[in-house]
Homo-oligomer: A and B are copies of this chain.
Amino acid sequence: MPSSTVENYLKRLFIEQQKQPGQLVQMGHLAEAMKVTAGTATSMIKALADSGLVDYEPRNGVKLNVQGEQLALHVLRRHRLIELFLVQILGLDWAEVHPEAEQLEHAVSEKVLERMDGLLGRPNFDPHGDPIPSADGIIRKQQLATLLNCPRGQLMKIARIVDQDTDFLQFLDRHALRPGATLTLVHLDTLADAVTLQLGGERTLVLGTRAASKILVEPA
């Protein structure tokens, strides 16, 4: 049974790999994401390689192998189902469930997870719009636009927020920018590094491109 540390490394590797498909994850990058020193990451990755969960190319980088990826998807499933459970059943705020789920994902048994899944009606997405991997480790790839590359002047629906920082999510929430909400991209100003959004009823909002790129949308 993998320790929660191992589960965290695998989950992190999966997420970093998704950001740069096909490439190896650099040690420094992983170390920073895990908030450990580079040396710690190296020794951990060597251990994971010995356990047959990752392919490690010294001085080059690391990636999950098939087995590691299955495990990572499993952890991700737990995490996301728990997030939805905390919102839907316990009424927590979607902006704050991430750290809670971070703890619980290592303590919830298969049986309990299965009950949660049933109670929630076998959901496909968590409160941030992230897809929930199926029990057999399949995750639907989404083709979503960001607020930077979506058509202008067209009504769009927020499908997903790809950031778990509570403060950022609460900021979005205060402007009613949550998955499911609709909005229109009015203007993209590359020089000012900003996008102007039309929200419901006259309200407009300007976001920097860094923030805007974290909001994924689809045609409403």
Listed in ascending order, the chain A residues whose CB lies under 8 Å from chain B are 86, 89-92, 100, 103-104, 106-109, 111-112, 115-116, 119
Contacts and interface: CB of A to CB of B under 8 A. Distances in A.
A103 B110 CA distance: 12
A25 B15 CA distance: 48
A112 B111 CA distance: 20
A111 B92 contact: yes
Residue from A86, A107, A115, A119 having most chain B Cβ neighbours under 10 A: A107
Contacts of A90: 112, 115-116, 119
Nearest to A102: B107
Nearest to A116: B90
A116 B175 CA distance: 29
Nearest to A89: B89
Given A90-B112, A103-B107, A103-B109, 15 more contacts: A86-B112, A89-B119, A90-B115, A90-B116, A90-B119, A91-B115, A92-B112, A100-B109, A100-B111, A100-B112, A103-B108, A104-B104, A104-B107, A104-B112, A107-B107
9 contacts: A89-B89, A89-B119, A90-B116, A91-B115, A92-B111, A100-B111, A100-B112, A103-B109, A104-B112
A170 to B, nearest CB: 15
A114 to B, nearest CB: 9
Contacts of A108: 103-104
A98 to B, nearest CB: 12
Contacts of A116: 90
Contacts of A92: 111-112, 115
Contacts of A106: 107
Contacts of A86: 112
Nearest to A108: B104
Contacts of A115: 90-92
